[in-house]
Amino acid sequence: MIYKGPSTNKTATRQTSDRPAKKNGQIIYGMRPVMEALESGVQIDKVMLQTGLSGVLFSDLKRKLQETNVPFQFVPVEKLNHITPNNHQGVVATISPIKYQSFESVVTRLQEEQKIPLIVLLDHVTDVRNMGAIARTVECVGADAIVVPAHGSAQVNEDAIKTSSGALLRIPVCREENLKTVILLAKQMGIQVCAATEKASESYVNVDFKLPTLLIMGAEDTGISNELLKLATVRAKLPIAGEVQSLNVSVAAGVFLYEALRQRTV
């Protein structure tokens, strides 16, 4: 099993702030241990901070989280106590089961290998099962990577990995602070940006997927944000014959990706 979850050992030795980071399944707790983990390059998925924390060490930790683009949130102490009975000092971090990569490094490597990039950008897709299903399709069609925002996105956790049939462990996942920056960089690197949206007039079969492509799939409820939609070089939609006017995002992604595969293998 990928995720062991928090310990239920009530007699565990209490963590002190001067001890090295202690991994408890997939968590690290304590201010200094989490700080040490960040400085040593441990891939942290998110950090939960106790509401009301203050002090110099806390300020240093918060600044480090912002510098490393690690998502964090403030939660009641009761939630932290539920995760671990040990002395967490108001800080609990969950360790990512994967190593995130940067979008620029992935594209640079693909270009050096003379490959035509096909990358999926998920605009705040929050359902882990949708993320997992999309990742599974990405791997099946031989696409190159998934891009997700650092904040407001589904976590790469046990459920996502299970739904992906392990694909999330085999494909690059890029966690980026600013999706707008990613799109602008993609265009600078010669990649067309295709927005999958019902607001388009063009059919998905008319998109030239033989070109280097960044495919944007929108959030389950709101679709692609207007800010990103404006930056797309091409917009495309799927035909809808029934009364329900939208598809599940993972299904829609599958149709687009298999059209890309069809074009590239003709």
Residues 53 and 155 placed together within one structural domain of the fold: no
Q: What is the mean pLDDT of the chain?
A: 88
Q: For the chain, how many structural domains are there in total?
A: 2
Residues 31 and 155 placed together within one structural domain of the fold: no
Per-residue pLDDT tens digits for 158-211: 889 999 999 999 999 999 999 999 999 999 999 999 999 998 999 999 999 999
Which pLDDT belongs to residue 26?
Answer: 84
Which pLDDT belongs to residue 1?
Answer: 20
Residues 126 and 84 placed together within one structural domain of the fold: no
Residues 81 and 200 placed together within one structural domain of the fold: no
171 and 145 in contact (C-beta within 8 Å)?
yes
Q: Which DSSP category does 240 fall into?
A: -
Residue 8: pLDDT band (50, 70, 90) is very low
Residue 9: pLDDT band (50, 70, 90) is very low
CATH number of the domain residue 60 falls in: 3.30.1330.30
Which has the minimum average pLDDT: 7-16, 41-50, 71-80? Answer: 7-16
Task: Flag whether 6 is in a domain.
Answer: no
What predicted TM-score, i.e. pTM, was given to this entire model?
0.80
CATH number of the domain residue 149 falls in: 3.40.1280.10
More confident residue, 18 or 257: 257
Give the C-alpha separation, 209 to 142, whole Å.
Answer: 13
Q: pLDDT at residue 35 above 80? A: yes
| Domain around 32 | 23-95
More confident residue, 35 or 12: 35
Residues 259 and 137 placed together within one structural domain of the fold: yes
Task: Flag whether 243 is in a domain.
Answer: yes
Alpha carbon distance, N-terminus to C-terminus of the chain = 40
More confident residue, 144 or 11: 144
Give the strands of the sheet with 23-24, arranged side by side. 23-24, 27-29, 91-95, 44-50, 72-75
252 and 260 in contact (C-beta within 8 Å)?
no
Residues 71 and 201 placed together within one structural domain of the fold: no
